[in-house]
Structure 1
Amino acid sequence: MITTLEARFDGTVLHPNKPLALEPNSRVLMTIETFTQDAEYTFLDTASSLNLDGPPDWSTKLDAYLYGEDSQHEQA
Structure 2
Amino acid sequence: MVEKITAIFNGKVFYPSEAIALPINTRVRISFEILPPSEYETVSFLQTARSLNLEGPPDWSANIDKYLDNK
Residues 9-28 of structure 1: pairs in structure 2 closer than 5 A: 9-28=9-28
Please, which runs of 5 or more residues in structure 2 have no aligned partner? 40-71
CA distance in 1, matches of 2:37, 2:23: 30
Deviation string 1:37-75 (CA, Å, 9 cap, x unpaired) is 225xxxxxxxxxxxxxxxxxxxxxxxxxxxxxxxxxxxx
- Higher CA-based Rg: 1
In structure 2, the residue matched to 1:4 is: 4
CA distance in 2, matches of 1:11, 1:37: 17
In structure 2, the residue matched to 1:31 is: 31
What TM-score do the two structures reach when normalised by structure 2?
Answer: 0.51
CA distance in 2, matches of 1:37, 1:3: 22
Relative contact order, CA 8 A, sep 6+: which one is greater? 2
Deviation string 1:9-48 (CA, Å, 9 cap, x unpaired) is 0110100001111011100011111112225xxxxxxxxx
CA distance in 2, matches of 1:35, 1:10: 15
- Give structure 1 regions of 4+ aligned residues with deviation exceeding 4 angstroms: none
Please, which runs of 5 or more residues in structure 1 have no aligned partner? 40-76
Q: Percent identity?
A: 31
CA distance in 1, matches of 2:25, 2:11: 21
